[in-house]
Amino acid sequence: MSRILQSAGERRAETHPLTWRLHDDQSPVLLEEYLDTQGYAAVTKALEQYTYESLTEEVKGANLRGRGGAGFSAGMKWSLTAKGADVPRGYIVCNADEMEPGTFKDRLLMEQQPHLLIEGMILAGYANRSKQGYIFLRGEYHLAAASIQRALADARADGWLGSDVRGSGWDFDIALHTGAGRYICGEETALINSLEGKRANPRAKPPFPGQSGAWGLPTVVNNVETLCNVPGIVNHGADWFQALSGDLSRDGGTKLYGVSGKVNNPGLWELPMGTTGSRILELAGGMRDGLTLKSWLPGGGSTGFLLPEHLELALDFDTIGKTGSRMGTGLLTVVADNQSMVSLTRNLEEFFARESCGWCTPCRDGLPWSVKLLRALEAGEGEGGDIELLEQMARDLGPGKTFCAHAPGAAMPLASAIHYFRDEFERGITRPKGEAHADPIPVGSV
Amino acid sequence: MTTTATIGTTIASDGFVLDPADRAAILEERAHYPYPQAASIEALKIVQKRHGHVPDGAIPAIAETLGIRVADVEGVATFYSLIFRQPVGRHVILICDSSSCFLTDYEALRDAFIDHLGIQMGQTTADGRFTLLPVCCLGACDRGPTILIGEDLHGPVTPDEIPRLLEAYA
């Protein structure tokens, strides 16, 4: 079970649409309680008042940006789905393969409030004319699986899923699909291959999944947190959603922000989109053991390192994007002054090397090579030119060189660590290019 | 060990018999999808739940049950890290080795497990009780370093807690 959600104040439906129902004892919100607290009201409203086009327009107007890390407008994605009388109905797939290093938000939503996700999926299914939904859940989330299975059965028994949803004449159901490991399954098209029972290699785009996805039918893939935002938008409107972030951000809504690493009070908070990193770090009680913050990742292992000065920026997709990093999942990983950037980067690249599906050469061969170089630097056995070679590799792993974003994701922390902390890497070089190494000086811990 | 496989037909190999309950569970999963191949990962997990790992003979048995190619089942079985194609211990200990746990000293925890159990990562204790494996970020980074034993998440775990923690896993 995840740690309890922490509050920066009282949680209310109007201000904390994702978490206001959650219990202090972390027990799940079951169907009866969910129905008593506006639950499934958005489905009723949508079936009565919205067409699939107008529902898509509402979500588009809210500027709900994808919470899985890419930040693409959910409404825009939905508007690009092939749908119409002559197009077969396809699939809405929830990406619940939460495996991004440093990210622990979707787990909480699924374990403790599965009906909010199901309601969001029903709405997304309606807006996209989907015939079936799948929740693609990573295999290690056993508690979330049990929580979702029970909620699906309860929702189905109460008529929210299945044929003729609540007497509307509209058929829609959801099945839980659990994975069996591999980070790459979180990549949209690899996820679709995995859902089809294949190896999780990504697919070439175009065609985009909205045109031809699972089993060749129009398929929309949205993250858990993204879908959990949809009921609130339908209940209260796009303007309300935009107002949640007020002047802090042009992106609408709230965000589940979190902090991990050596802080006094690691955890998760629902805050307005655009809250600053310094505010979030303050809620996390600051660095522990008298440590000082050296660097931080804004939203997972595939985002670029930033400096303490960047903590004053609004944590939203555009603002963090301008630094050259990405907001990603919005869960901060903090690095203390006594922790080695070379070692941490080596750890990250080992992760990406192991999790590469092997489909594209730069990723399959480049990532293990970067690990080899980083290990040498970490052991104080690097040679002249190693850093420049790593920089070259970061460029060659960048966007456009491979089928999916796995390699570009791996390049981000690598390039940014060298950019901001070059001196730490230089300390690992103890011999000129081409010469045998003489006297190793480990720099694993600074 | 020999495995003979013929596409699309019933195969007898290594004396493996698919348990009737598992076969029924696989067919139930199959009903969730428009095409049978989609149930192959779940089928492997069903077999693994009973046997601890996926014996060689289970691959053609699953293929036959779902009416799909043996190579497709094996291709999937060897791709996914949580499908075990070799015997593992009664309890698999998955140690998170991703960045947040790295920053909260998972390496010391991993080394303590290696010392305590007398095996390396990827190995199984001689008594068949524990297998040690690394795993991607377990999504509980506020509790790092974290581990998963069977279906139980633990964290934060310190090296000195290991003996007591493992007592619950006979």
Taking CB atoms and an 8 Å limit, are B82 and A180 in contact across chains? yes
Dihedral (Cα; A126, A130, A132, A138), 10-degree rounding: -90
Q: Which amino acid is at A205?
A: K
Q: What is the pLDDT of residue B3?
A: 43
Q: In Å, how far is A142's CA from the nearest CA of chain B?
A: 6
The residues in B 33-62 lying below 8 A from A, measured between CB atoms, are 33-42, 44-45
Q: What is the pLDDT of residue A84?
A: 82
Q: What is the pTM of this model?
A: 0.94
Q: Is A89 on the interface with B (CB under 8 A)?
A: no
Taking CB atoms and an 8 Å limit, are A347 and B79 in contact across chains? no
Taking CB atoms and an 8 Å limit, are B82 and A268 in contact across chains? no
Q: Identify the closest residue of chain A to B145 by CA–CA distance.
A: A261
**Which contiguous run of DSSP H or E holds residue A301?**
none
Domains of chain A, first to last: 31-243 (3.40.50.11540), 245-336 (3.10.20.600), 341-431 (1.20.1440.230)
Q: Which amino acid is at A275?
A: T
Computed on alpha carbons and rounded to an integer, the radius of gyration of chain A in Å comes to 22
Q: What is the pLDDT of residue A438?
A: 57
Tell me the chain A residues in contact with residue B102 when contact means C-beta distances shorter than 8 Å. 343-344, 347
Q: Identify the closest residue of chain A to B40 by CA–CA distance.
A: A197
Two tokens, residue A303: 């985002």
Relative orientation angle of helices A142-157 and A114-127, to the nearest 10 degrees: 60
B142 close to B129: Cβ distance less than 8 angstroms: no
Asked whether residue B9 carries a pLDDT value surpassing 50, the answer given is no
pLDDT per position as a tens digit, B54-89 = 999 999 999 999 999 999 999 999 999 999 999 999
A103 close to A331: Cβ distance less than 8 angstroms: yes
Of the candidate ranges A170-179, A437-446, B21-30, B104-113, the one whose mean pLDDT is the lowest: A437-446
Sign of CA dihedral A418, A421, A422, A424: negative
Instruction: Give A207-258 as a DSSP string.
Output: SPTTTS-GGGS-EEEEEHHHHHHHHHHHHH-HHHHHHHTTTT-SS-SEEEEE
Q: Which of A199, A258, A336 sits opposite B79 (nearest CB)?
A: A199
The runs of H, that is alpha helices, within chain B are 20-30, 40-51, 58-66, 70-77, 99-103, 106-117, 162-166
Tell me the chain B residues in contact with residue A350 when contact means C-beta distances shorter than 8 Å. 97
Q: Is A179 on the interface with B (CB under 8 A)?
A: yes
Q: Identify the closest residue of chain B to A105 by CA–CA distance.
A: B139
Asked whether residue B23 carries a pLDDT value surpassing 50, the answer given is yes
In sequence order, the 6+-apart residues with CB closer than 8 A to the CB of B16 are B55, B56, B57, B58, B61
- Local structure of residue A184 (DSSP, 8 states): G
Q: Is B153 on the interface with A (CB under 8 A)?
A: yes
Q: Is A157 on the interface with B (CB under 8 A)?
A: no
Q: Suggest the residue from A4, A260, A334 to mutate for an interface test with chain B (most B CBs closer than 10 A).
A: A260
Q: Is B139 on the interface with A (CB under 8 A)?
A: yes
Q: What is the pLDDT of residue A261?
A: 98
A302 close to A405: Cβ distance less than 8 angstroms: yes
Taking CB atoms and an 8 Å limit, are B35 and A197 in contact across chains? yes
Q: How many residues in total does chain A contain?
A: 446
Q: Is A88 on the interface with B (CB under 8 A)?
A: no
Tell me the chain B residues in contact with residue A101 when contact means C-beta distances shorter than 8 Å. 98-100, 136-137, 141
- Among residues of chain B, what percentage have pLDDT more than 70? 92
Tokens 């199959």, located at residue? B30
Q: How far apart are CA B58 and CA B49, in angstroms?
A: 12
Tell me the chain A residues in contact with residue B76 when contact means C-beta distances shorter than 8 Å. 197-199
Q: In Å, how far is A143's CA from the nearest CA of chain B?
A: 8
Per-residue pLDDT of chain A (446 residues; tens, 9 = 90+): 445 567 767 889 999 999 999 999 999 999 999 999 999 999 999 999 999 999 999 999 999 999 999 999 999 999 999 988 899 999 999 999 999 999 999 999 999 999 999 999 999 999 999 999 999 999 999 999 999 999 999 999 999 999 999 999 999 999 999 999 999 999 999 999 999 999 999 999 999 999 999 999 999 999 999 999 999 999 999 999 999 999 999 999 999 999 999 999 999 999 999 999 999 999 999 999 999 999 999 999 999 999 999 999 999 999 999 999 999 999 999 999 999 999 999 999 999 999 999 999 999 999 999 999 999 999 999 999 999 999 999 999 999 999 999 999 999 999 999 999 999 999 999 888 877 655 555 565 44
Q: How far apart are CA B36 and CA B110, in angstroms?
A: 40
In sequence order, the 6+-apart residues with CB closer than 8 A to the CB of A67 are A105, A223, A224, A225, A226, A229, A255, A256, A329, A330
Domains of chain B, first to last: 1-85 (1.10.10.1590), 91-166 (3.40.30.10)
Q: Is B121 on the interface with A (CB under 8 A)?
A: no
- Of A92, A91, A358, A359, nearest to A204 by C-alpha is A359
pLDDT per position as a tens digit, B144-168 = 999 999 999 999 999 999 999 999 9
Q: In Å, how far is A164's CA from the nearest CA of chain B?
A: 18
Q: What is the pLDDT of residue B11?
A: 47
Taking CB atoms and an 8 Å limit, are B142 and A104 in contact across chains? yes
Q: Is A303 on the interface with B (CB under 8 A)?
A: no
Q: Between B14 and A439, whose confidence is greater? A: B14
